[in-house]
Amino acid sequence: MRTIACSLFALALLWNSVRAEDIISSLRAAGVAWEGELPCRKWDCECAFTRQRGCCCAAYELQEVEDQIFMRMKDLSNRASQLGDSILELIGGIRVAFTASMSPRTNCLGPFTRNRPIPYDVITLNHGSAYNPALGLFTAPLSGLYSFSFSVYSKVGGAGERMYYKVQLIRNGEPVTSTWEDNREDSEDSNSQTILLSLQQGGQVYVELLNGRQLCDNAEGLNTFAGSLIYPTLA
């Protein structure tokens, strides 16, 4: 962020510098081309550009222009610095991140007659307290770009039994990504997904198991759900 602010400031300085040179060149050309009588009798270019007031025509005007440009550049520098500090303070002062997993289960989760949020009830991290383990629900504390990931693991009892699950990530009631397995060849399977999502303040994200599907033998907390704020945005 400081790099961006400095780049903008440098561009502004360059632009003001170009404008100053144009103004000085125009004044100089006008003085040289002037055929009437000059109060100082002649255009002294050497004097005009040594920052001495009153020694030649337009020296005072040139100095005023330079002073004005300098003050504008100084004000721009202060504003850019304040903006950079404010952005860094805003981002640095906000920590939103969580990691949760399903507690080990000997039985299967599901099947259910309707889609159901997966209860990731073992919390290892919850900065900002935005994740609710009772509901398996993340609520964005502020608008921004977030990263979410989830992993899925399931194991059936023996060869020939059906591996049948589908898990999807939901944002504000709508599915945005999913993973599934439906075969009789694998006795166990795992998968994972990671996605970036833009959320408004109060937006909600959770992972659900679709109706009629199941996750079995969740050993060692292999079913996980995690998320974090990458950077805040204007609402």
Domain harbouring 131, CATH code? 2.60.120.40
Residues 101, 87 within the same domain: no
Residues 66, 175 within the same domain: no
Q: Mean pLDDT throughout 168-190?
A: 87
Q: At a CB cut-off of 8 Å and minimum separation 6, what does 80 contact? A: 5, 6, 8, 9, 12
Domain C-terminal end among 40, 68, 92: 92
Residues 184, 162 within the same domain: yes
Q: Mean pLDDT throughout 90-94?
A: 63
What's residue 85's pLDDT? 63
Closest residue by Cα to residue 108 from 210, 226, 217: 217
1-15, 80-94, 160-174, 193-207: which is most confident: 193-207
Domain C-terminal end among 48, 65, 92: 92
What's residue 113's pLDDT? 94
Domain C-terminal end among 27, 61, 92: 92
Phi, psi of 67 (to 5 degrees): -65, -45
Percent of the chain's residues with pLDDT above 90: 37
**H or E element that contains 89:** helix 59-92
pLDDT one-digit tens code per residue, 23-77: 666 666 666 666 665 555 555 555 544 444 444 555 566 677 778 888 888 888 8
Residues 38, 59 within the same domain: yes
131, 123 in Cβ contact below 8 A? Answer: yes
Residues 31, 60 within the same domain: yes
What's residue 3's pLDDT? 44
Q: Which domain holds residue 54?
A: 2-92
pLDDT one-digit tens code per residue, 180-231: 887 767 778 889 999 999 999 999 999 999 999 888 877 778 899 999 999 8
Tokens of 80: 């850019």
Domain count, the chain: 2
Any idea which of 60-74, 95-109, 128-142 has the lowest mean pLDDT? 60-74
Residues 42, 103 within the same domain: no
pTM of the model: 0.61
Cα separation, 181 vs 153, whole angstroms: 10
Cα separation, 193 vs 191, whole angstroms: 7
Give the model's confidence band at 82: pLDDT under 50 very low, under 70 low, under 90 confident, else very high. Answer: confident
Determine the 3-state secondary structure of 65 from DSSP.
Answer: helix
Q: Mean pLDDT throughout 175-184?
A: 86
